[in-house]
Amino acid sequence: MQIDASVNYHVKKSTPQAFEFDVDGIVGNLVSPELIETKIKVTDLRGCNAHPQFDRDGIEFLGHVSAVEDFESGESWKAIYDQELTDLLKARIGANEVIVFDHTVRIDDPQASRRPARNVHNDYNEKGAEQRLIDLVGEDRAQEFKQAGYGFVNVWRPVQNVIQSSPLGFIRPKSTKAGDWMDIGLIYPDRFGQILGVAANENHEWFYHSNMKPDEIVVFNIYDNRSRPHLAHSALDLPSDKAAATPRKSIESRTLVRYS
């Protein structure tokens, strides 16, 4: 089934573009590059017979019950959840080593410091991925990861409630052309990074899973040095969002995986 939604695509320019975070020392204060709101059609995969597979499509939707219920209090939950994700990725995608290096809880509330990302993007370009690899494991081990094959893989799940608004949507990799991508800078108070922004293309095939629950996850590829597909993604704005009883709350975990 297809539904109507809107997303914010990036606009190609001849000059460098960047997001600037915590501008003027204010947490959550964001300056964005130019984005253009675009109406799209999105396929709801809930109940479909054909399911994407990680090796072929760079993404899988899975059931996964976690022992963690509270992702916002203290730090003790991280060791438990990191081990769960490590076991999952070793069993499901054939990872030999998993390094979980970031967790981000996003709440679709104007007062939240981290809200859903509403720009069509992928978290790393090639240069950014290679630098992040070195940052995480050092130059010597980075060579081992490159030789074995490595990737950056994200795991996303709802927190506390069913997702009723601004769900996470994806573009089918085969419908994305090389010319759709562009480098976008990330300017933090203490570091600089780069992502891939995506320009509008009417041939993009968008999909998502409706009404995802806290015991459901999506595992998706961000970068792979052996050319496994990576996916552009964004929060989707739906006509039904205003009627949602609870704001979207989710956690996205970023991992570095080494294959055998």
Nearest to 194 by CA among 139, 134, 130: 130
Residue type at position 189: P
Q: Structural domain boundaries of the chain?
A: 2-259
> For domain 2-259, is the CATH number 2.60.120?
yes
pLDDT at 55: 94
Which of the four pLDDT bands, split at 50, 70 and 90, describes residue 230?
Answer: very high
pLDDT at 241: 82
pLDDT at 190 over 90: no
Which of the four pLDDT bands, split at 50, 70 and 90, describes residue 3?
Answer: very high
pTM of the model: 0.94
pLDDT at 243 over 80: no
pLDDT at 193: 85
pLDDT at 28 over 80: no
Question: Which two tokens mark 120?
Answer: 């069509």
pLDDT at 29: 84
Cα separations (Å) of 95 from 79, 153, 218, 229?
A: 19, 10, 16, 16
Long-range contacts of 77-86 (CB under 8 A, 24+ apart): 78/103, 81/253, 85/155, 85/253, 85/255
pLDDT at 27 over 90: no
CA 256 to CA 99: how far, in whole Å?
A: 5
Which of the four pLDDT bands, split at 50, 70 and 90, describes residue 47?
Answer: confident
Question: Which two tokens mark 21?
Answer: 């975070």
pLDDT at 30: 84
* Residue-wise pLDDT tens digits, 73-132: 999 999 999 999 999 999 999 999 999 999 999 999 988 888 999 999 999 999 999 999
